[in-house]
Structure 1
Amino acid sequence: MDRTVIANLADLREDLAALYRDLHRHPELSLQETRSAGLLAQRLRDAGFDEVAERVGTTGVVGVLRNGDGPVVMLRADFDALPVQEKTGLPYASRARGVDPEGRDVPVMHACGHDMHAACLVGSATLLAGARDRWRGTLLVVFQPAEELACGARGMVDDGLFERFPAPQIVLGQHVAPLPAGVIGYGTGPVMAAADSLSVTLHGRGAHGSRPEASIDPVVMAASVVTRLQGIVAREVPPAESAVVTVGRLQAGTKDNIIPDTAELGVNIRTYTPQTRDLVRAAIERIVRAESAASGADTEPTLTWFASAPALVSEPDSTRATMAAFTEHFGEQRIQTMPLVNASEDVGVFGEVLGVPTVFWFWGGLEPETVVAAMREDRFDQLPGNHSPFFAPLIEPTLSTGVEALTLAALTWLGTP
């Protein structure tokens, strides 16, 4: 593989670092990424892309670079932020605030590294645009919004992503992680879990706290639901399978001596196979309805599934071919296999819709000595990971590694002159 494309990265590092710091300092919540989208779109225009479109799937950005006959290869990065108060103490730390979907004023931070993802994709797109004599085909660059809501990829597809722009033969993406900076981790087959969220409203009958006999208490009902849900994984999911059921929200009432009319729960599940996903979803619905009936509720519970993302599958043969290119470039010591990750990513929607391979990998962003020391002392779980208010990747070598990886992956699948 021709490495002269990557050699030009040295001229971009300072500018890309400035872009990263800018994105980090000015994070935007999901589907509100208008400022970021404008910056990223302009970078593609400056790089000479044939076509640049904004507001795809609300706030997404798409760039197309045609370079003769050959495969269509898609590079994807997400760029939304989280409602987290940053505590890194960095000079470019976020002090931004935003309004969440419930209308609440919240702090905003790039606590999952999406700013790094976006800066790396700008770097790779710029390198490939400047070296069109080294490859053939069409490069499709996608900056996806709303990954944190698990709806951004589907929103872009529903907005005609693959009808309005060339449909790729392969989808390539990456995620910065609490690994040593410069290290790349990967898996083949399922690498990240499917995610589904459920909003539940249990309907009871309110009463004075001194007269519980006059009520149908939704708080007791909710407590029973929460407890019973814990038995799904322990007693219904086969031991060889993996699943997580979490109740992350339970809200009811306004005062200690008032039994309320309703109680609300927010439930999240993680699974790896369609069979287990269907089993867990059905079990949750069965338990919620059964506990409501057992409590004598006059009204059926309200259940609303939302924010669903399929399991992320990194197609084995395509992943092995991509990792072979990484190993040749980075060396074996910087490439490692990873266990299954219970977190989720909606990038798999793109390949699933088209029936084409997805290749996805992780790369490290933490000080290597810090990670090694934590592993040696068995406190790896204490490192600042994704979604932590302390998570902020080292700019280098994280930025250069991410740019190089995306560029190498694209060159692996684009045609040769």
Structure 2
Amino acid sequence: MSDSDLSFPASVLEPLDARLADLVALYEDLHRHPELAFQETRTAAEVARRLTAYGYDVTTGIGGTGVTGVLRNGPGPVVLLRADMDALPVTEDSGVPYASTVPGRMHACGHDVHVTCLLGAADLLAAGRDRWSGTLVVLFQPAEEAGNGARAMLADGLYSKGLVPTPDVVLAQHVAPFGAGLIAYCPGACMAAADSLEITFHGTGGHGSRPETTVDPILMAAVFVQRVQSVVALEIAAKEQVVVTVGAFHAGDTANVIPDRAVVRLSVRSFDQNVRTAVLAAIDRIARAEAAASDAPREPEVKALDSFPVTVNDAAVLKGVNESFTQLLGAERVFAYEPTTGSEDAGELATAAGAPLYYWWLGGWDLDVFRTALAAGRLAQDIPSNHSPHFVPVVRPTLVTGVQAMTVAALSRLDGAV
């Protein structure tokens, strides 16, 4: 792409206006019908139908419900664009007319936006294939929220069995609670590693009137929950970014019975492998120490539930794609952002291929509301975050910017677009 003008990508983007009504209808339909991790059958079927119509070689059922489309268009690099498809077990409370029709499920993280934007970009890039050369892979991934969707596709032979050609670069975006029409980026480590654990404390149950005959696992686990909060404050250097969150505590069924076990689930977010190792070791140590202090009949069981790697952006790819974003949107709409302690598994697709990754954030909230909240210092109070039952991005210009960003990012890495 020329540094002086946008005539080339503009010609590829031009059909977007005519396609926008269909994309809005698609987005609203996806939002009404959210599907949880590895259950994205309806979404996957619609993705496959559209990719086939656009002229892609389509493969379905990868890693369960994953879908890929491959468009071979002459010599040149292999560019992979990725979107995740799964929703969350959240009850929607947004009030939008296209709210979820499935009780207890919601696209509360914006993956319906991701699917829509990538399909829009796939359509534009296929229609404009006379303007670029190379191979385009569009990948629709299941189970990002579970942390193992990318792994499942890789284990199913995504690259090893040649289901898609190994990419030279992996590109992805995520809608976020800042102004629609804006794009944010973070060089280097941009999202944290995450580890989720389940710890089962074992006691000796009995009648609530005779606690001396029991070993109370609730007290054991409660002390652990308090003590584990000290790990970040007292054992990790202040310069490091670490979060330890206890998200679930389950024990007992009635008021006058001391149960024989208590289960705690927690997550750890970190950016440095040594810090990650130290925090996980401290959690294990504290759990065992509290069990020993309570004279538990057996040691606690520490079970890993899921894990995400650190998401790391490649400096050269980020710089090149950002130049295209800036030419498209203007420098005032593309800005640097701090690393976030949220987590992602898109990086696994890049790591497995030995390819660089660029992962950016797409603004999805009403721009005026965002600016008002920012000026008042009320972003946390006034703008719902991802995973909130109120998190529903505005349709326009979010979809427009998202489709444009994916399209221009791909063009910036394909031959003939530079």
Q: Do residues 200 (structure 1) and 192 (structure 2) align?
A: no
Structure 1 SS opposite 2:345: coil
Structure 2 SS opposite 1:162: coil
The 5 Å alignment of 1:213-362 reads 213-362=212-361
Q: Do residues 111 (structure 1) and 108 (structure 2) align?
A: yes
Partner of 1:100: none
**1:174 Cα offset (Å):** 0.2
Cα deviation 1:231-266 (Å, max 9, x = unaligned):
110111111111001111111111111111000000
| 1: CA distance, partners of 2:237 / 2:151 | 30
Equivalent pair of 1:57/1:156 in contact (CA under 8 Å): yes
| 1: CA distance, partners of 2:391 / 2:215 | 45
Which residue, 72, 91, 97 being the options, matches 1:91? 97
Q: Do residues 137 (structure 1) and 143 (structure 2) align?
A: no
Equivalent pair of 1:86/1:95 in contact (CA under 8 Å): no
**1:385 Cα offset (Å):** 1.7
Structure 1 SS opposite 2:14: helix
**1:177 Cα offset (Å):** 0.6
| 1: CA distance, partners of 2:94 / 2:249 | 30
Cα deviation 1:67-110 (Å, max 9, x = unaligned):
1111110000001111111111111111213xxxxxxxxx1111
**1:135 Cα offset (Å):** 0.8
Equivalent pair of 1:221/1:292 in contact (CA under 8 Å): yes
Partner of 1:44: 51
| 2: CA distance, partners of 1:129 / 1:266 | 45
AA aligned to 2:338 is P
Runs of 5+ in structure 1 lacking a partner? 98-106
| 2: CA distance, partners of 1:273 / 1:63 | 35
Which residue, 97, 117, 121 being the options, matches 1:120? 117
Partner of 2:384: 384
| 2: CA distance, partners of 1:91 / 1:209 | 50
Equivalent pair of 1:249/1:267 in contact (CA under 8 Å): yes
TM-score (norm 2): 0.96
| 1: CA distance, partners of 2:99 / 2:249 | 32
TM-score (norm 1): 0.96
Partner of 2:62: 56
Which residue, 18, 26, 40 being the options, matches 1:19? 26
**1:306 Cα offset (Å):** 2.0
AA aligned to 1:296 is D
**1:276 Cα offset (Å):** 1.1
Structure 2 SS opposite 1:341: coil
Cα deviation 1:285-336 (Å, max 9, x = unaligned):
1111111111111211111112101011111121111111111111001111
CA RMSD, 1 decimal: 1.0
| 1: CA distance, partners of 2:281 / 2:353 | 28
Structure 2 SS opposite 1:161: coil
Structure 1 SS opposite 2:201: strand
| 1: CA distance, partners of 2:244 / 2:70 | 40
| 1: CA distance, partners of 2:316 / 2:242 | 26
**1:355 Cα offset (Å):** 2.2
Q: Which moved more, 1:181-190 or 1:385-394?
A: 385-394
| 2: CA distance, partners of 1:66 / 1:273 | 39
| 2: CA distance, partners of 1:416 / 1:373 | 42
| 2: CA distance, partners of 1:368 / 1:35 | 32
Cα deviation 1:353-393 (Å, max 9, x = unaligned):
22211101001111111011111111100211211111111
Partner of 2:413: 413
Which residue, 130, 144, 149 being the options, matches 1:147? 144
| 2: CA distance, partners of 1:161 / 1:238 | 40
Structure 2 SS opposite 1:166: coil
| 2: CA distance, partners of 1:387 / 1:348 | 21
| 2: CA distance, partners of 1:295 / 1:246 | 23
AA aligned to 2:142 is P
Partner of 1:104: none
| 2: CA distance, partners of 1:252 / 1:84 | 23
**1:185 Cα offset (Å):** 0.5
Q: Which moved more, 1:74-83 or 1:157-166?
A: 157-166
**1:279 Cα offset (Å):** 1.0
Q: Do residues 81 (structure 1) and 87 (structure 2) align?
A: yes
Which residue, 35, 45, 70 being the options, matches 1:28? 35
Partner of 1:101: none
Runs of 5+ in structure 2 lacking a partner? 2-7
AA aligned to 2:413 is W
| 1: CA distance, partners of 2:222 / 2:34 | 37
Structure 2 SS opposite 1:52: strand
Count of residues in Structure 1 that have an aligned counterpart in Structure 2: 407
Cα deviation 1:214-235 (Å, max 9, x = unaligned):
1111011001110110111011
